[in-house]
Amino acid sequence: MAHIHDVIESVSAILQPVYLVGGSVRDALMGRESADFDFATPLEPDRIEQAIRTAGRRPYLMGKRFGTIAFKLDGMTVEVTSFRSERYSEGSRQPNVEFFADLDEDLSRRDFTINAMAMLGEELVDPFGGEADLRAGLVRAVGDPAERFAEDPLRMLRMARFASQLDFQVDPLTALAAASLASGILSVARERWMIELDHLLLGPGVEPALHLLSETGLIRFLLPEIGLQVGMRTESRPGSGSLFDCTVEAVGSAPPEICARWAALFRDAAVPYLPLNPGSDNNDLDRTLLAREIVERTALYLKWSNQRRETVERLMLEL
């Protein structure tokens, strides 16, 4: 794994000025190695491409119209993006992009303070207190959280994903804004949901993150069958708490493998639809059939592969 300062030095030799931004800065401050290195620059895409070619490297131009050009560096793929803002139209995966020349403005349009830092050489640029939030273990929106979520509603789900992955708390005002705008997640392409949900389910903070989805109301729009379990008391699973509490505990106890976590999430998805007659053989049969139907519907909705759907169904029925 390349050392972060070596990567900064190598990219700076190709074009300047250039700033390391985003998750790799966050990882460096947390003492973690990073596999992805994203850079930002006031240079426009044509000048980025020219500098990469001048350095004798091949630019990858797939993201050029969105301001991003990639190239290989010591076997890694490095991305360089012009300072920009981006906004997603309803239901679209393609952002509307505007370029500008100010670093603080670029950082001000990022989602959370822990992702809104930059490094120029050894110097940390942190206009929104991201380093302090890292020390506090806090996910907090940059600026007005309602504005950030309106720019891209997927950020509400990313909020919970980062809380799970990093085992962080969420700033109360940020969570409150998500609760007021939760229905906006329906405007986001389901493929984008799935990426975030997969990361969330595999994080060490998965249990509080799932409770966050419940508290903000996001779960009702993302996975309505699971949302029905919130506040529901049942004798089908012994112990205190709601059916949703039992499901969350099951997910946290499942092996940290994505199909196993999804299977645990859906193990009781049929229960809210069934009569309270746990001793009935017919009830057990209905539960099995309905649970499989719910998984199949979710698989279609989230565009799972057939292999994932079949594996989740098999593991779920073994629970």
> Using one digit for the tens of pLDDT, what is the confidence trace for 175-187?
999 999 999 999 9
CB 124 within 8 A of CB 107: no
116-127 pLDDT, tens digit each: 999 988 899 999
The more confident residue out of 172 and 318 is 172
Instruction: Give the relative orientation of helices 206-216 and 190-202 as an angle to the nearest 10 degrees.
Output: 140
The whole-number average pLDDT for the span 226-245 is 81
Give the model's confidence band at 319: pLDDT under 50 very low, under 70 low, under 90 confident, else very high. confident
213, 259, 299 from 317: Cα distances, Å:
25, 12, 16
Which of 104-118, 119-133, 222-236, 303-317 has the weakest average pLDDT?
222-236
d(CA 297, CA 224): 12
Give the pLDDT confidence of 18-35 residue by residue, as tens digits. 999 989 899 989 988 777
> What domains can be seen in the chain, in order of their start residue?
1-136 (3.30.460.10)
Confidence category of residue 98, pLDDT binned at 50, 70, 90: low
Provide the greatest CA pair distance for the chain. Answer: 74
What lies within 8 Å, CB to CB, of 189 at 6+ separation is 91, 92, 93
Percent of the chain with pLDDT over 70: 89
pLDDT at 249 over 90: yes
d(CA 41, CA 48): 9
The SS3 assignment for 72 reads: strand
For residue 1, name the pLDDT band (cuts at 50, 70, 90).
very low
Cα(138)–Cα(172) distance, integer angstroms: 10
Answer with the residue of higher pLDDT: 235 or 71: 71
Question: How many C-beta neighbours within 10 Å does residue 55 have?
Answer: 15
In sequence order, what are the residues at sequence separation of 6 or more whose Cβ sits closer than 8 angstroms to the Cβ of residue 239? 246
